[in-house]
Amino acid sequence: MTTPPAAYLALERQFARRAGLQGALGILNWDSRTMMPAASAAARADQVAALEGAIHAALLDPRVDDWLDSAAGNAHLLDDWQRANLTEMRREHRLATAVPADLVEANARDAARCEVVWRTAKARNDYGLLLPHLRQVLAHQREIAAANAAVLDCGLYDALHEIYEPGSRVADYGPIFDDYAAFLPGFLAEVEAVQDQEPAPAPFQGLFDVTAQRELVQRLAGVLGFAGRVDQSLHAFCGGATGDVRITTRLDPDNFFKALKSGLHEAGHALYEMGRPAAWAAQPVGLARGLAVHESQSLTFDMQVGRHPRFLEWLAPQLAAAFGGQGVAWTADNLRRRFRRVERSFIRVDADEVTYPAHVILRWRLEQALIQGAMDLADLPDAWNQGMRELLGITPPDTAMGCLQDIHWPSGAWGYFPTYTLGAMMAAQLFQAALTAMPDLPDRLARGDFAGLVAWLGENVHRWGRYLSTRDMMVRATGKPLDAGIFKAHLRARYL
Amino acid sequence: MTTPPAAYLALERQFARRAGLQGALGILNWDSRTMMPAASAAARADQVAALEGAIHAALLDPRVDDWLDSAAGNAHLLDDWQRANLTEMRREHRLATAVPADLVEANARDAARCEVVWRTAKARNDYGLLLPHLRQVLAHQREIAAANAAVLDCGLYDALHEIYEPGSRVADYGPIFDDYAAFLPGFLAEVEAVQDQEPAPAPFQGLFDVTAQRELVQRLAGVLGFAGRVDQSLHAFCGGATGDVRITTRLDPDNFFKALKSGLHEAGHALYEMGRPAAWAAQPVGLARGLAVHESQSLTFDMQVGRHPRFLEWLAPQLAAAFGGQGVAWTADNLRRRFRRVERSFIRVDADEVTYPAHVILRWRLEQALIQGAMDLADLPDAWNQGMRELLGITPPDTAMGCLQDIHWPSGAWGYFPTYTLGAMMAAQLFQAALTAMPDLPDRLARGDFAGLVAWLGENVHRWGRYLSTRDMMVRATGKPLDAGIFKAHLRARYL
C-alpha cells in the first residue's frame, strides 16, 4: 500500500476540523429549537454567524487551493475512497469559493429579515407585504445560481438544486415529474371512486397523554435501532452531529398521529446519519449523499413501512397499549383505512402520499420560472392558483393557503422542493428491492422485526456515503436508476 | 466626539467574532454536562477541539498584530472604555501568542489523558499510577508558566494564576494567606469550644423529592433575578453564553442542602454574567474581571447571604413548604446551627467556611513549590500530609483523601486554587460595604427582598466588566483594597 501524499493528508485534517465545527453548529441548532430560552435568540444568532464564518473560512484558507492542486497531481497514489473524497473536497471548495463573500452575507441577512416579514404576511394573508422582501431574496438567489452555474457548467435552477442533492438535474427528473402531473388527475379520480365505496375510518377521539406519546416515539425509534436523544420541538427534525444524532417530535394532545408519523420519519433520517461510513465520518465522502436520498430513508419508515398493512398489525396493539385505547378505532384495519385516505387539499405539509407530489411539482415549476426570469414575482399568486387548478382541480381561498404557506422561499431555500418527491419515489423503489431480497419482509414487519430492513438499507444506501453517485447507488441497490413506474405501481397497489 | 480609527474597529469586529465562537463553546460545554448521551463524548471532543482551534486562530491572524500596533498609535482618538478595551485586547493577544501552538496541543492532550488516569488512581488510592502522567502535565505547565512570565514580566506561579485572575500577584495576597494560616489554629480552637457548648442541630431525615428540589432552586434563583435555564448535572455549574446564561444544580434525594447551596452559589455567578456591561458584552473589556471576583459573587449568595441569620428567617418556611417539613428541624434557628458547624476534615469541597481557606493555602503552597521546581512530585503525598497536620492538625488516611482528591492538577488547572479564598474574602468585604450603604439590608433579607443587594452589586461590581482592575473595583466599592481583616471579623461574628 502506498502512502497518500502530504497534501491530501493536510486536506483530510482541514476537512476534519471543518466537520468538527459543523458538528458544533448542529448541536447549537438543535439547542435553538429544543432548549434555548426565546430571549437568547439574538445571542444565538451571533454564535451561529461566527461559527458559519469559521466553517466558510476553513475552505477559503489559501493553502487549501495549493493542497487540492497538489493532491490532484498525485491522485494515482490514492485509493478509491480517497480519490472519491478528493472529488468531493474539490466540489465543496468550488461551491464555497464560487459565491463572493459579500453576496453570501447579503443573502443571509436579507433572507433572515424576509423570513420574519413572511410570518406576519402569512398571518395577515398579505402577499404585498412580503413582495419587496421576497424580491431581494430572489435577486440574491439568481446571483448565487449564476455563480454556481458557472463553475458547475449547468442550468441556473440545477445550480441551486445541486446544493441540496448533488448531481441531480432537471434533465433527468423533469420528465418524471411531468409524467406524474399527467398521471395524477385520472388516478386521483379512480382512488376517490374506490374511497367513496369504503366506510370512513372510525375516529380517534379524546386527549392523548404527551408523556405517553413521547415514550411511544422513543420506543419505536429504539426498536428501529436509534438510541439517541428524543426531545420535543414545534416542528420535528433530525439534527445534532456526527456521533450524536438527535431527533425531535411534535406532541399534540389532540392528535398522536403527528408524533407517530414524525417519530418514524425522523428515525429514518437518523438511521441514515448513524449508518454513514464510520471511517469517513469527518470527511466529505462520508456525508449523506443528498437530501433526496435522505428523504428516501425517512419516507421508507414513514410511508413504505409506516402505512404497510402488515406493519399496522404490529403497530395497532402498541398504540392501544400506549394510550389505553379500546374498540374498533384501534384495530389494524381501521388504521389502514385512516392511512389510505386521499384528499385534494391546499396545504403541502398536511397532504397525503398521492397528492403530495402535486404540491412539489407546482412549486418546482414556479421556482424554475422565477429563477430563470421567465416570471415576475408579482404574478406568483395567480400562477399558483392556476397551477393548483391544473394539478388538483382546486383553488386556494387566499394566499395564506396558497403561495404564502411555505417558509422555503422567504428563507432562501430555492431548489429544495424536488427532494421531497424524488425521495418518495426512491423510497418506493428501494423498498421494492428490499422486498425482492427479503420475501418474508412483510412477515417481519408484522412481528415488529426491522433488523433485516435496516441492515439492507445500511448495506445498500447508508454505508456508501458519497462514494457512489445517487444514480449508481440506485442501480447497485435496485438494478436500475430512478423509475417512477415503481412509485406509481406502489400507489395503485395501496390505494386502488 | 471623534471617530475611532479603522484598526480599532477592525479589532472590535474580530473580537466580537471570537466572542461568538466562545459563546458557542459555552453552550457545547453546557450540553456535554447536561444533555449529551455518554456515547457521544468522542464526537464532542472533536467539536470542542475544532472550536478551540478557531478561537485561538482568531488571535493568531497576522492582521491582528498590525491592527493592535495601529490602534495603539492612535489611542488618543479612543474614549476611556475603548482604551481599556484595547488594553485587554493586547493582554489576550500577548497571552495567546506567548505559548507555542504545539505546547498548547501537547498540554491539552496530556492533561485530558492524565485526567482519565486520575479517576482510576483516585478510585484505587494509587498515587504511583498517576505520577508519570502528572509529571508530563507539570512539565507542560512549567513551560507555559515560563512563556507567560516572559511577556508578563512576573514570577512563574503568577504567570499561571494570571490566566484565572488577571493582575493578581503572590506579592499582594501571599501575606494575607500566610496570616490566615497563622490565625487559624487559635481561632479554630475557640470556635470548637463554643460549638461544644451548643446543642447539635436537629437532623433533616428522609427522602426529598428531586422535582421539589429543582423547583426550589428555580424559585430561589428567580427571586434573585435569574430567569434562565436551571438543569441537573453531576457537579453544579454556571455556564452557557453571553445572553444565554444557564445554571445547573445537584439533586440528591438524601440531602437537599446540596441543591440549596449550589442554587444560591450558581445564581450568584449568573447574576455577575448577566450584569456585565451590555454595550461591551462581546468585547474583552466587557468580560468578568476574573475568577476570584466571580467567586466573590457566588459566595456573596452562598455564604454571606445564604447563612445570614436574617435570611434564614425567610428561608426556613420556604424549605418547610417545599418538602412538607414539620417540627424543630425546620426552624430558622436550627438552620443557623446547622450552617455554623465547623469541622477539621480532609475533603476541600465538603469543608466549612472557616477551614476551607486552609485547604486552599495547602494547595497554593505546594503548587508554588512544584511550579518553581523546589519540590519533586514524588514527595507530594508526604508534603501534603505534613501540610494538613500544620494547618488543621489532622492526617489523611490515604492519598484518595489527600493529594489525589482534586481534579485541578491532573486536568492542567495550576494556579487556580487561590481564587476560591480570594473570592471568599472579597465577598465578606463587599457584603460589609453593602451593609454600610443599606443599613436595612438584614431586614430586607428577612423579607426575601434581594433587589437592593443585587442592584448594589450591579452598580459596584458587575457593570464594570474589566474596565477597573480588581484592586480599583474593590477600592471604589469598599474604600480599600482587599482586607482580610474584614473576613476574619465576619468569621468571629458568625462563629464565636
**Percent of chain B whose predicted confidence (pLDDT) is above 70:** 100
Could you tell me which residues come within 8 angstroms of residue A398 by beta carbon, excluding any fewer than 6 positions away? Answer: A125
Q: What's the distance, Cα to Cα, between the start and end of chain A in Å?
A: 57
Q: Does residue B415 have a pLDDT over 60?
A: yes
CB B185 within 8 A of CB B393: yes
What's CA A194's distance to the chain center, in Å? 31
CB A266 within 8 A of CB A298: yes
**Residue B109's pLDDT is what?**
85
| Probe site for chain A from B28, B33, B35, B55 (most A CB atoms < 10 A) | B35
Angle (nearest 5°) at CA A269 between A265 and A270: 110
3-state DSSP assignment of residue B231: strand
Please give the Cα distance from A266 to A221 (Å, whole number): 9
Nearest to A48 by CA among B96, B285, B28, B287: B28
Q: Does residue B129 have a pLDDT over 80?
A: yes
Beta-bridge partner residues of B249: B232
Which residues of B form the catalytic set?
266
CB A216 within 8 A of CB A318: yes
Tell me the shortest Cα–Cα distance from A238 to chain B, in angstroms. Answer: 15
pLDDT in tens, B142-170: 999 999 999 999 999 999 999 999 999 99
Partner B contacted by A211 (CB < 8 A): no
Please give the Cα distance from A66 to A72 (Å, whole number): 10
Partner A contacted by B62 (CB < 8 A): no
Helix ranges (H only) for A99-202 are 101-124, 127-152, 156-164, 170-197
Amino acid residing at B436: T
Retrieve residue B421's grid coordinates. Answer: 479564598
pLDDT in tens, A115-131: 989 999 999 999 999 99
3-state DSSP assignment of residue A232: strand
Q: What is the mean pLDDT of residues A416-432?
A: 98
pLDDT band, very low/low/confident/very high, at B298 (cuts 50, 70, 90): very high
The conformation of residue B107, written as its DSSP 8-state character, comes to H
pLDDT in tens, A280-312: 999 999 999 999 999 999 999 999 999 999 999
Partner B contacted by A225 (CB < 8 A): no
| Residue with cell string 435501532 | A225
Tell me the shortest Cα–Cα distance from A403 to chain B, in angstroms. Answer: 36
Residues of A in contact with B20 (CB under 8 A): 46-51
Beta-bridge partner residues of A244: A241
Averaged confidence pLDDT in chain B: 96
**Residue A394's pLDDT is what?**
98
pLDDT band, very low/low/confident/very high, at A108 (cuts 50, 70, 90): confident
Residues of A in contact with B229 (CB under 8 A): 35, 37
**Residue A1's pLDDT is what?**
52
H or E segment to which residue B26 belongs: helix B6-34
Which residues of A form the catalytic set?
266
Averaged confidence pLDDT in chain A: 96
Beta-bridge partner residues of A360: none
Cα B329 to Cα A166, B220, B252, B316, B332: the distances in Å are 69, 20, 19, 9, 9
CB A383 within 8 A of CB A366: yes
Tell me the shortest Cα–Cα distance from A277 to chain B, in angstroms. Answer: 15
Residues of B in contact with A228 (CB under 8 A): 37, 40
Tell me the shortest Cα–Cα distance from A235 to chain B, in angstroms. Answer: 20
Angle (nearest 5°) at CA B403 between B400 and B404: 45
**A59-82: burial string, b at 16+ Cβ within 10 Å, e else:** beeeebeebbeebbeeeeebeebb
* Range scoring the smallest mean pLDDT among A40-44, A240-244, B492-496: A40-44
Cβ-based contacts under 8 A for chains A and B: 111
- Is ipTM beyond 0.90? yes
**Residue A470's pLDDT is what?**
97
Retrieve residue A152's grid coordinates. Answer: 458547475
Retrieve residue B131's grid coordinates. Answer: 505520577
pLDDT in tens, A430-451: 999 999 999 999 999 999 999 9
Residues of A in contact with B35 (CB under 8 A): 35, 229
Q: Does residue A476 have a pLDDT over 60?
A: yes
Q: What is the mean pLDDT of residues A337-344?
A: 95
Partner B contacted by A35 (CB < 8 A): yes
Residues of A in contact with B248 (CB under 8 A): none
For B230, phi and psi rounded to 5 degrees? -125, 115
